[in-house]
Amino acid sequence: MLTTILLTLFYFLTPVLIIYLCHKSKTLNKIGAVVLAYSIGLIFGNIGIFPKASLAYKNLLTGKVSLPKAEIEQLFSSGIISLNDVSLNQVYSTQDLIMTIVIPIAIPLLLFSLDVKQWLKLAKEAFKSLILAMVSLLIVIFLGYFLFKGYISESWKISGMLVGIYTGGTPNLAAIATALDVNPNTFILTHTYDLVLGAICLLFLLTVAQRLLNTFLPHFRESHKHINLKELVTESEGVDNYLGMLTKKGVVQLLKALGLSVLIFALGGALSLTVPKDAQMVTVILTITTLGLLFSMIKAINNIDKSFQLGMYLIIVFSLVVSSMANLNAMFQIDFLHLFLFVALVVFGSMIIHIILSWIFKVDSDTTIITITALTYSPPFVPVVAGALKNKELIISGITVGILGYAFGNYAGVFIAYLLKGL
């Protein structure tokens, strides 16, 4: 219990400190609260604070973040796992619980202040970018399969998992691993490499990507001149301004927005219980996104000040948690070099090819970045990057692309795996 309390305090109070320091320091503000949270999380998760897992516990975790308390107690009493595993499972359970709660609550808060009419004008470009992303991914998957199939056991299964994870994130990875009966150690290493390499890639997207891509891709403003961009820019300038949130009036308004967001989450969770387990995540995301959009059309809710910033605070909490879960040590095992290279090829290769195709087909830089984010990291990460880009109008497009990835990622992953197996 003490571990859970201390971890929860760390994950929810550290972002407050980060936001305060960004307000006080221009240098830190330029780096950004999300990037700082990711950096702190990576350090916190890899300095030896958490207990080390035994091989038996790792094998039992396949496709899961943590194990139920009753199961853990039984495994410990049977001598299958160690006391360290029990403690580590408590850490993982806390992290999983926080991640499960903060994202579904954050998404409606981020959507309440958005202009749906403006988003509809951006959708066409987002779908074009989605097609380019899928082409990029398939190119590197086929290339990687033929490069490494002689070095990686059952590389066709790895290929299928990578298609899944880069169209729908970890839920698709776990689903495809189960469908293809992937070896537990292979699953764990693939997931670990993805977390670490993905964190590096995400830092690039959060920091220098926009400035770099703007040098040769169309700028968002230039490619959407038909939209009232002056209004969008004015709105976006304050996305990282948290001042005034704790005034008496501000707290009352934000509590209303938070209460409504929690209600939307509850409705999404209840609805997800009526569908098969592998469709529950998609159902929750679709429900909270749809309801968030519908409520954004109500003027009284749309005008609540700082609801977006409250959502971004929860996103910073999420960023801190998820980065602290990455295991840097597992990367440096020479026995798994080719698996590491395969994952690296997919992570960086698909991004590079996507950027090249965006240049050929004249897709703007912000849309390219948000599409890469939506597919590579799944919808919960879209607001993180949109906030760094100071372009909140792309959130809905990104979430839509990510949901499509959730929807067809499992099918695509299994199909590509068996296609490669038959070649």
* Per-residue pLDDT reduced to its tens digit, 85-100: 888 888 888 988 888 8
Whether 235 shows a pLDDT value over 60: the answer reads no
| pLDDT, tens only, 142-151 | 999 999 988 8
The model's confidence at residue 230, banded by pLDDT at 50, 70 and 90, is: very low
Length reported for the chain: 423
pLDDT of residue 316: 85
Q: How many domains does the chain have?
A: 1
Q: Which residues are CB-contacts of 415 (< 8 A; sequence separation ≥ 6)? A: none
For 267-283, how does the pLDDT look when each residue is reduced to its tens digit (9 = 90+)?
988 998 888 876 676 67
- CA nearest to 130, candidates 416, 357, 387: 357
**Tens digits of residue pLDDT in 143-202:** 999 999 888 888 999 999 999 888 877 667 766 876 787 776 677 678 778 878 888 888
Reported as a pLDDT band with limits 50, 70 and 90, residue 407 is: low
Q: Can you give the pTM of this predicted structure? A: 0.68
Instruction: Quote the CA–CA distance of 270 and 303 in Å, as a whole number.
Output: 28
Asked whether residue 212 carries a pLDDT value surpassing 80, the answer given is: yes
Q: Which residue has the higher pLDDT, 314 or 14?
A: 14
Q: What is the pLDDT of residues 46-86, one digit of tens each?
A: 888 888 888 888 778 765 778 888 888 888 888 888 888 88
Q: Which of 148, 172, 149 is nearest to 161 (CA)?
A: 172
The torsion angles phi and psi of 363, rounded to 5 degrees, stand at: -90, 135
Tokens of 180: 């293809």
Q: What is the span of the domain harbouring residue 142?
A: 2-422
Specify the pLDDT at position 237. 42
Res. 45: pLDDT tops 70:
yes
Summarised one tens digit per residue, pLDDT across range 298-350 is: 888 888 888 888 888 887 888 788 778 777 666 566 557 888 899 999 999 99
DSSP string, 248-306: HHHHHHHHHHHHHHHHHHHHHHHHHTTS-GGGHHHHHHHHHHHHHHHHHTSHHHHT-TT
Specify the CATH number for the domain of residue 262.
Answer: 1.20.1530
Contacts of 318 (CB under 8 A, 6+ apart): 98, 99, 102, 103, 106, 380, 384
What integer pLDDT is reported at residue 360 of this predicted model? 94
What whole-number distance in Å separates Cα of residue 207 and Cα of residue 85?
A: 36
